[in-house]
Amino acid sequence: MDNAQKLFEYLPQGAVHIILKWIDDYKCDFKIAGKRSSKLGDYRPRHKGLNHRISVNHNLNPYAFLITTVHEFAHLQTWNDHKGSVKPHGQEWKINFKKMMEPFLAMDIFPDDLRKEINSYLTNPSASSCTDVSLFRAIQLYNSPDSKDANVLLIENIPCNTTFTIQNGRRFKKLEKMRKRYKCIELATGRLYLFHPMAQIFEAG
């Protein structure tokens, strides 16, 4: 893969040269992956002669692609610093993630509203930007109109007592909100589950 050519298609322009330098400096195999419902990106450390490996989902808008890419490179840096002796999203990773986001925040890459949400998120970054509702909402606003994810149906956007289907075909009914998540009951089993407000659903009603 010609990384320079490909990355110009997925990243904000000003970010490409930094990411290319990281790929080269860290000797990292960087892959643009298909859509994965369970994760936006992935990092695998060096192993049995293989380089560091990072993959990022192709269907992300440029800002989401950049944040996810930095997230994974922070894992790489944390591995170089500590190998497997620290938690994946512990304090060491948080420090590296904040530090590695700094050059992008210093540029005029992010719109003001998104920059504000990123700065708020960086006070205590979590395992995924998707778990921060405000940041996730802000990122989603920049999906292109023709994106398959531009008009997705989200749990928070359907009324309580509405039934819905998730990707694997299981059906639920949305109940009340419990602090940050929605309580939902699975119709087939009667079991209760908690859904993130930004969880995508595939059919409602």
Write out pLDDT tens, residues 84-106.
Answer: 899 989 999 999 999 999 999 99
Residue 1 pLDDT exceeds 60: no
Q: What pLDDT is stored for residue 147 in this prediction?
A: 54
Residue 61 pLDDT exceeds 50: yes
Distance CA 27, CA 83 (A): 16
Q: For the sheet containing 28-33, what is the strand order?
A: 28-33, 52-57, 41-44
At 191, the amino acid letter reads R
Q: What pLDDT is stored for residue 70 in this prediction?
A: 96
How many Cα atoms sit within 13 Å of 124 on the Cβ side? 2
- The pLDDT confidence band at residue 203, using thresholds 50, 70 and 90, is confident
Residue 2 pLDDT exceeds 80: no
Residue 149 pLDDT exceeds 90: no
Q: What pLDDT is stored for residue 131 in this prediction?
A: 64
Name the H helices within the chain.
3-10, 16-25, 62-82, 91-106, 112-121, 133-140
Distance CA 32, CA 143 (A): 18
Q: Which CATH class is domain 153-204?
A: mainly beta
Write out pLDDT tens, residues 18-33.
Answer: 999 999 999 999 999 9
Evaluate the CA torsion angle 138, 139, 140, 143 in order and state its sign. Answer: positive
